[in-house]
A and B are shown apart, each in its own frame.
Chain A
């Protein structure tokens, strides 16, 4: 554990950061930005994905697309509409405690869920013929591409860099609370945006599934 400087608290080593602040240190658990214990699980999932694409059978592709998509959608909705607002209202020490435990796992879970969903989904669409422009619900498929494109820009350009930067800041001997605050705001807002986009995804995917 290490101490973190926050407004009105102390910095690493117990030196007061602000004279007016209470002399209580904030514990920052030791953590790995990318949890190495999770990497073998990611490797297994990607191996299953490669095998499913190679055999090109309907059930494994459908399984991976649905499981990956459900994970992606549920996590985005939960982060955007439940945990995000809660995180935003928590005091910084509590945010730090939660973030150092949650965000490293998100760094492994989300990219894996996304690549599994999209790769299996594309192969499934090729298998079923739904990626062709002659498919009678082609407009809905194109709409799903647009939604995924917007989500990708938000997630890859804003959310994930903020996630990594928060964890990197928290790894410093003396993290800057202003930086953490700023990056976590970005994380929370972008989570909300991707949560909204996931509602659109649910509308489109249920339409495609029901015909």
Chain B
């Protein structure tokens, strides 16, 4: 990742703190992705398991589920988009961007599923 570097003291920070801050303010160029990829894979598996188990429920109120989940999905897509915008604003690219984007996709799907399920199960 690369971003405009801010050299020297950081605005707004105290002199003592500014001296202890790193000289540049972008994320490291080489980020170890293995733990993040493992967690992402685990979250995709959990999401898939949730959906598979949900699909097997007899008499589930799918109409209610989708009525709630679609609006929740809109809200969480907005939130995920906001977070993605910050990553892009900071010139995140390559592997880290892919992992972060996929993580946001899981987030934007899973939370609406949870909300839709919680409402629909009581129908």
Contact = CB atoms under 8 A, between A and B. Distances in A.
Contact of B114 (A59, A136, A157, A179): A157
A115 B26 CA distance: 21
B19 to A, nearest CB: 10
B122 A179 contact: yes
Interface in A139-174: 156-157, 160-162, 164-165, 168-169
Given A58-B11, A160-B115, A161-B114, A130 B86 contact: no
Interface in A105-123: 111, 115, 118-119, 122-123
B25 interface: yes
Given A50-B85, A136-B20, A129 B122 contact: no
A134 B122 CA distance: 50
Contacts, number: 91
Nearest to B79: A115
A54 B12 CA distance: 18
A134 B89 contact: no
B28 A133 contact: yes
- Specify the main secondary structure of chain A where it touches its partner: helix
Nearest to A56: B89
Nearest to B80: A115
29 contacts: A53-B86, A58-B11, A111-B79, A115-B79, A115-B83, A119-B83, A122-B83, A126-B3, A126-B27, A126-B90, A127-B10, A128-B13, A129-B6, A129-B21, A130-B21, A131-B27, A132-B22, A133-B28, A156-B111, A157-B111, A161-B119, A164-B115, A165-B115, A165-B122, A168-B64, A168-B122, A179-B122, A211-B16, A211-B20
Q: Give 9 closest A-B pairs by Cβ, nearest first.
A: A161-B118, A129-B25, A58-B12, A165-B118, A168-B119, A129-B22, A134-B22, A161-B115, A129-B21
